[in-house]
Amino acid sequence: MENRPLEYDYTVAKMFMLTTIALGIVGMLIGVILAFELAFPGINTILGSGLAEFTNFSRLRPLHTDSVIFGFTVSGIFATWYYVGQRVLKVSMAESSLLMFLGKLQFWLYVITVAAVVVSLLAGETTSKEYAEFEWPIDIAIVVVWVLFGVNMFGLIGLRREKSLYISVWYYIATFLGIAMLYLFNNMEVPTWLATSAAGETHIGDWFHSVSMYAGTNDALVQWWYGHNAVAFGFTVPIVAMIYYFLPKESGQAIYSYKLSLLSFWGLMFVYLWAGGHHLLYSTVPDWVQTMGSIFSVVLILPSWGSAINMLLTMKGEWQQVAASPLIKFMVLGSTFYMFSTLEGPIQAIKSVNAIAHFTDWIVGHVHDGVLGWVGFMIMAALYHMAPRVFKREIYSKSLMASQFWIQTLGVVLYFTSMWIAGITQGMMWRAHDEFGNLAYSFIDTVTVLHPYYAIRGVGGLLYLTGFLMFAYNIYKTMTAGKRLDSEPANASPMGA
Amino acid sequence: MFSVEFQAYGYFAVTVFMTVALYAYIYHLYKNRKDADGHDYEEYSNMALHDGIEDTPVNSLPKDDKK
Ligand code: HEM
Ligand code: HEM
């Protein structure tokens, strides 16, 4: 090697930044289409009845959930790991050609897998398990991508100069282990190529098709142990990893209490795994599983708020920074939305509340105040912080970022408020009955009443998507036209007007 | 009925155990203040701020850089 000073190498981080943005656009665009399809059903067949198969709600819905989860969010996790990991471990990817090779391999395999997912879901190939729709060949590819991620993570940890693992690294490790365990157990499936179906269901017998190894109540239990912890290890743990690095770094403030961060970490790890039963209240799973799910959900407020309050207190006495920097605004509002959805979730997990909330739009509202306000905001903030360091250029526009912040905040607020009203209205109408026990309303009555709220949600989603496109443009301009920087900014990211 | 009673006792015992374990951990963190390497926990709280490749690690691992 020539005599250049050692530098961090962001090649792989950059690649995943690209997929974060691209798949974010795809996923959110489909989300907006779905939202308008619910409000205006005509859109389901907008391209004519010949193509209706590809444009209807049920075909597109898994494409939305999977591209925002496994596309946008997981790419964001990879991108930030390949950035934060090197820095807090004080080791460069450039120091190991093996790790560099594996990182790139992971990226390309990931891209191929994503393509396979998009094609198969559009074609309607699915195992019919929510968030686990992929057929077995794709599952195997996903496992390989994940293993490569793990090899890289532990490889980098093995080469580190800093012996102590920063709290973010703990959270990234937990993400890796958690998802590995959940994904493997929930996707245990039996290929159907030897079987025939008397009922003649489509695809039974196709080589790529499979059915879950579990049946009935067991399947539901495993599925929601998975589903809930996918929220834990996909939408919470890695995002907490990000905020523990990016908020202190961007603001120049040390974490308020490191002890509190350790306590919250172990609390979260222990409590989350037992809360999945709250997705199955009033179902056929044993009563004690449901009660346990409710109780652990309420306990979960503590470790969740532990991290969130720790982050807000990190900004203690520094609120002028929140006012001045749109980048810090994203993170502070993100952790506020995190507190919000982790208060809302436990409330919905109480049995009597769940009796109203389950199956309604209130759940969808809960999902999106978490994913839009917390996951989306935090991933965008992370990429904004990384951009000047990775491209060695100033962020293209501060005013664009500030407008984006307000547009998206309005979008999130419209989304969850409309869904609250819609959900609670729906839940109350379904239950209403007269003195003889006859239902007071039929299903279509609720559909009619909900129409305006569905339209408002569509508008909220459109605003959020608009903001995301502004984000993509801002990053693109940073990459190509931002003012060049001679040295790496220490804290606050430099931004053009 | 036996099993329901058993569940109730089990449940109570687990709750007590968890509460004790949690408070013991909090007590341990605040009492010792330092971890096994002799570093005050709070020394780690600004690791994100000193993350340049040339910055001194809080706790270094000797590494022979082959140039
Ligand atoms: C203390 C933390 C939380 C608790 C106790 C909790 C609780 C719940 C409950 C009770 C449900 C509804 C189950 C049903 O009746 O169908 C639910 C659904 C959901 N929550 Fe949470 N939640 C929490 C935090 C979060 C966060 C932070 C996010 C995302 C960032 C999130 C994402 C979701 C998703 C995606 C679903 C929908 C799953 C589905 O039905 O497909 N939750 N949560
Ligand atoms: C532009 C923004 C978005 C819009 C307009 C949107 C819209 C929608 C719609 C209409 C649904 C179907 C709800 C139903 O079946 O009634 C949905 C479901 C879902 N979306 Fe989004 N979405 C957006 C962004 C996101 C993002 C960024 C994420 C995650 C990072 C996400 C995660 C989910 C999940 C997990 C579900 C399934 C919820 C459940 O089963 O309860 N969405 N979204």
Q: Do B42 and A257 touch (CB under 8 A)?
A: yes
**CB contact, 8 Å: A255 with chain B?**
yes
**Mutation choice for ligand 1 from A186, A279, A368, CB with most ligand atoms inside 8 A:** A279
Q: What is the 3-state secondary structure (H, E, C) of A265-290?
A: HHHHHHHHCCCHHHHHCCCCCCHHHH
> Which positions of chain A have pLDDT values less than 50?
1
pLDDT, tens digit (0-9, with 9 covering 90-100), for A373-426:
999 999 999 999 999 999 999 999 999 999 999 999 999 999 999 999 999 999
Let me know if residue A1 belongs to a domain. Answer: no
A6 within some domain? no
Distances (CA, A) of A201 to A137, A302, A390: 20, 47, 51
Question: Measured between alpha carbons, how far is A368 from A284 in angstroms, rounded to an integer?
Answer: 28
* DSSP secondary structure code for residue A42 in this structure: G
Q: Between B29, B55, B61, which is nearest A160 by CB?
A: B61
Q: Radius of gyration of chain A from Cα atoms?
A: 23
Q: Measured from the CB, is residue A64 less than 6 Å from ligand 2? A: yes
User: Is A168's Cβ below 8 Å from some Cβ in B?
Assistant: yes
Closest in A88, A163, A258 to B59, CB measured:
A163
Cα nearest neighbour of A268 on chain B: B22
Residue A1 is predicted with a pLDDT of: 46
Report the alpha-carbon distance of residue A30 to residue A63 in Å, rounded: 8
Nearest C-alpha to atom 7 of ligand 2 is from which residue?
A31
DSSP of A455-496: HHHHHHHHHHHHHHHHHHHHHHHHHHHSPB-SS--SSSPPB-
Would you call A343 helix, strand, or coil by DSSP? helix
Note whether A7 contacts B42, CB cutoff 8 Å. no
Q: What CA–CA distance (Å, rounded) separates B55 from B58?
A: 9
Nearest to B45 among A3, A8, A254 (CB): A254
Give the integer Cα–Cα distance in Å for A468 and A474: 10
* B60 vs A162, A255, A261: nearest CB: A162
How is B21-35 classified by DSSP, letter by letter?
Answer: HHHHHHHHHHHH-B-
**Ligand 1 centroid to residue A367 C-alpha, Å:** 6
In degrees, to the nearest 5, what angle opens at C-alpha A459 toward C-alphas A399 and A419?
A: 115
- Residue reference for tokens 């436990």: A346
Compute the distance between CA of residue A394 and CA of residue A496 in angstroms, rounded to an integer.
6
Assess if residue A136 is contained within a domain.
yes
Domain annotation covers residue A383: yes
**Backbone phi, then psi, for A161, in 5-degree steps?**
-95, -25
What ipTM does the predicted assembly reach?
A: 0.81
* Gap from CA of A368 to ligand 2 centroid (Å): 6
Taking each helix axis as running N to C, give the angle between helix A136-158 and helix A74-89, from 0 to 180 degrees, rounded to the nearest 10. 10
Number of domain units in chain A? 1
Q: Ligand 1 within 6 A of A373 CB?
A: no
Q: How far apart (Å, rounded) are the C-alpha atoms in residues A263 and A205?
A: 50
Q: DSSP assignment of A166-193, as one string?
A: PHHHHHHHHHHHHHHHHHHHHT-EEE-T
**Measured from the CA of A361, which atom of ligand 2 is nearest?**
16
Q: Which of A23, A37, A63, A68 is the best mutation target for the ligand 2 pocket, counting ligand atoms within 8 Å of the beta carbon and taking the most?
A: A68
For chain B, how far is it from start to end, CA to CA, in angstroms?
Answer: 72
B51 interfaces chain A, CB cutoff of 8 Å: yes
Asked if A256 is an interface residue toward chain B (Cβ–Cβ < 8 A), one would say yes
- In this complex, is the C-beta atom of B61 within 8 Å of any C-beta atom belonging to chain A? yes
Residue A497 included in any domain: no
CA distance A415 to A423: 12
Residue A113 lies in a domain: yes
Task: Tell me how far the alpha carbon of residue A337 lies from the centroid of ligand 1, in angstroms.
Answer: 13
Is some CB atom of chain A closer than 8 A to the CB atom of B59? yes
Angle between helices A11-39 and A74-89 (to 10 degrees): 150
Query: Cβ neighbours of residue A367 under 8 Å, at least 6 residues apart?
Result: none
Q: Which residue range is the domain that position A155 belongs to?
A: 11-195+206-481
Residue A361 backbone dihedrals phi, psi, to 5 degrees: -70, -10
Cβ burial A166-193 (10 Å sphere, 16+ → b, else e): bbbbbbbbbbbebbbebbeebbebebbe
Say which amino acid occupies A95: E
The model's pTM: 0.94
Task: Please report the pLDDT score of residue A5 as a whole number.
Answer: 79
**In this structure, is residue A265 part of a structural domain?**
yes
- Both tokens of A32, joined, read 């907006």
For residue B66, the model assigns a pLDDT of: 42
Alpha carbon distance A156, A154 (integer Å): 5
- Is residue A493 a part of any domain in this protein? no
Q: Which helix (H) or strand (E) holds A212?
A: strand A210-212
pLDDT of residue A88: 96
Based on DSSP, count helices (H) and strands (E) in chain A, helices before strands: 19, 2
The CATH number covering residue A451 comes to 1.20.210.10
**What per-residue confidence (pLDDT) applies to A195?**
67
Q: Kindly tell me if the per-residue pLDDT of B67 is higher than 70.
A: no
Please answer yes or no on whether A259 and B30 come within 8 Å at the CB atom.
yes
A243-299: pLDDT as tens digits: 999 999 999 999 999 999 999 999 999 888 889 899 999 999 888 889 889 999 999
Task: Look at residue B62 and tell me whether its pLDDT is greater than 50.
Answer: yes
Q: What is the DSSP string of A399-419?
A: HHHHHHHHHHHHHHHHHHHHH
**Do residues A27 and A68 lie in contact, with contact meaning Cβ atoms separated by under 8 Å?**
yes
Q: What single string gives the DSSP state of each residue in A127-168?
A: ---TT----HHHHHHHHHHHHHHHHHHHHHHHT-SB-SPPHH
Buried b (16+ CB within 10 A) or exposed e, A140-158: ebbeebbebbbbbbebbbe
